[in-house]
Amino acid sequence: MLKGIPQIITPQMLYTLSAMGHGDSVVLADANFPAYRIASNHTLVHIPNISICEMLKALLQVFPLDHLHESAGYVMEVDSEDQRRGVKTPIWQEYSEILRKDNNKSKQVLGSYSRASFYAEALKAQLIVLTGECAPYANLMLFKGVLN
């Protein structure tokens, strides 16, 4: 245990976050994300009893967001079949509220990638945190910035 480090950030996460460089990414993954396949060459931490919102709040206490990206965070776009079925993504509003508190107000808070692009970007992520989040389309990608 360390002072000032949220308890849900594991030692392995802290090490990986610390070793990441500017522009490296972390994926906060929902329970349905193919994390074991995607993270085959990178660090995977499985914390099944935590929501992505809880993890995001903790992560932002130690993780500077990249101001060079167009958005503070990125979600996976709802595919056309799920749009036809009426799948909703209320969790995105929660992410926006959390990120807005930590974000430069002139920047778009949430951007999105198509499913294929999100998976392609996730393959490059240095860290994937597999949570117990069950909300649809809850995966969130963040890019590391620099400390001022």
Share of the chain above pLDDT 70, in %: 97
- Domain range holding 26? 22-143
- Asked whether residue 12 is domain-assigned, the answer is no
CATH of the domain at 71: 3.40.1650.10
pLDDT value of residue 2? 82
- Tell me the whole-structure pTM to 2 decimals: 0.95
Query: Residue 63 carries which side chain, given as an amino acid letter?
Result: F
Q: Which sequence positions are flagged as catalytic?
A: 22, 66, 119
| Contact predicate 65/146, CB 8 Å | no
pLDDT value of residue 138? 99
- Asked whether residue 11 is domain-assigned, the answer is no
- Asked whether residue 2 is domain-assigned, the answer is no
CA distances from 141 to 17, 68, 144 (A): 14, 15, 10
- Asked whether residue 46 is domain-assigned, the answer is yes
Kindly report, residue by residue over 20-33, the tens digit of the pLDDT: 999 999 999 999 99
Give the DSSP letter of residue 136.
T
Tokens of 44: 């995977």
- Asked whether residue 118 is domain-assigned, the answer is yes
- Asked whether residue 148 is domain-assigned, the answer is no
Kindly report, residue by residue over 54-79, the tens digit of the pLDDT: 999 999 999 999 988 999 999 999 99
Strands 43-47 and 25-29: unpaired
Number of domains in the chain: 1
| Contact predicate 98/61, CB 8 Å | no
Rounded CA separation 63/86 (Å): 34
